[in-house]
Amino acid sequence: MIKLATMCTNEASEATLLNCLRGEEDFIVSGSVIIKSVVHESDKGLAFMDKMMKLQPDITFLDMDLLREAAARCMPVIVEYTKKFAFTRTIMIAERFHEQNVITMLKSGVRGFLLREQLVPDVILKCIRIVARGEVWLSGDMISRVCYELIRESQEKQAVKPPDRNQLDKMRTVSRREMEILALVSESMTNEEIAQKLFLSTKTVKTHIRNIFEKTDIRNRVEAALLYTRYQQEFATVRKTGGLKYSSYSIA
């Protein structure tokens, strides 16, 4: 019997997963929770994880948006829970995956990567059974991208660090166009996808990304995603309390 848990950001994703699992004799759902905002529902999320530590599900479905928000807000807590959850294999759900994000998550114990568009019964069930066997689930396209990135990374070691206050302050130097691109980087878009969306050349996108990295002292796209997410959290808090600390920018 395979025990499962789900952590989603909305009712639709949770319903899709739970409906798929109904009627499968070799699966049992140990727990399920919806966290729409890490900032406002952190206690709810921590309570659920503490409960799952006792029930020890074999596989946990986790929405990547939740992981990104939590990591941007408090990386030490995520690292600590990652160690405690060594008993479970994680399947990540996202709109898209960038190869750097995939490699980082593989190192942290994630063993499955499902695109939202792949959330159909046949794919979900196959993914669960493969991950339950101790194998890794990746789509064909993602396999080649991750392999190429691993080759590149082997030549240049990169460690991910959480955003600090100095980097948040440096976000003031980021232009509106760079902020648009940084937002899309945080959504795991490739340079080509960003160029197409913003009607720019790929070369121009690369130049903007290089400028962002230099301005904010970040070294890779994973850190860029964490910094942008943390900046959004800070901006939302300042705006809610009536402050003007980051009023120079309009963040989507």
**Mean pLDDT over the full length of the chain:** 87
Q: What is the pLDDT of residue 155?
A: 62
27: which strand partners? Answer: 2
d(CA 30, CA 25) in angstroms, rounded, equals: 14
Helix %, strand %, coil % of the chain (to 5): 60, 15, 30
Q: What is the pLDDT of residue 109?
A: 85
Q: How confident is the model at residue 93 (pLDDT cuts 50, 70, 90)?
A: very high
Q: What is the pLDDT of residue 250?
A: 38
Into which CATH architecture does domain 2-153 fall?
A: 3-Layer(aba) Sandwich (3.40)
Contacts of 56 (CB under 8 A, 6+ apart): 3, 87, 88
Q: HSE (CB half, 13 Å, CA atoms) of 143?
A: 5
Q: How confident is the model at residue 224 (pLDDT cuts 50, 70, 90)?
A: very high
Say whether pLDDT at 48 is over 50: yes
243: which strand partners? Answer: none
Mean pLDDT on 100-122:
88
Q: Which of 2-6, 48-52, 104-108 has the lowest mean pLDDT?
A: 104-108
Q: How confident is the model at residue 175 (pLDDT cuts 50, 70, 90)?
A: very high
Question: Cα angle vertex 98, ends 71, 204, to 5°?
Answer: 110
d(CA 127, CA 101) in angstroms, rounded, equals: 19
Tokens 């509106």 belong to residue: 176
d(CA 182, CA 172) in angstroms, rounded, equals: 13
| The domain over range 165-240 is classified in CATH as 1.10.10.10 | yes
Q: Where are the domains of the chain?
A: 2-153, 165-240
d(CA 108, CA 33) in angstroms, rounded, equals: 22
Burial class (CB in 10 A: 0-12, 13-18, 19+), 190: middle
What SS3 state is found at 33? strand
pTM of the model: 0.73
Say whether pLDDT at 248 is over 50: no
4: which strand partners? Answer: 29, 59
Say whether pLDDT at 167 is over 90: yes
Mean pLDDT on 10-22:
90
Q: How confident is the model at residue 245 (pLDDT cuts 50, 70, 90)?
A: very low
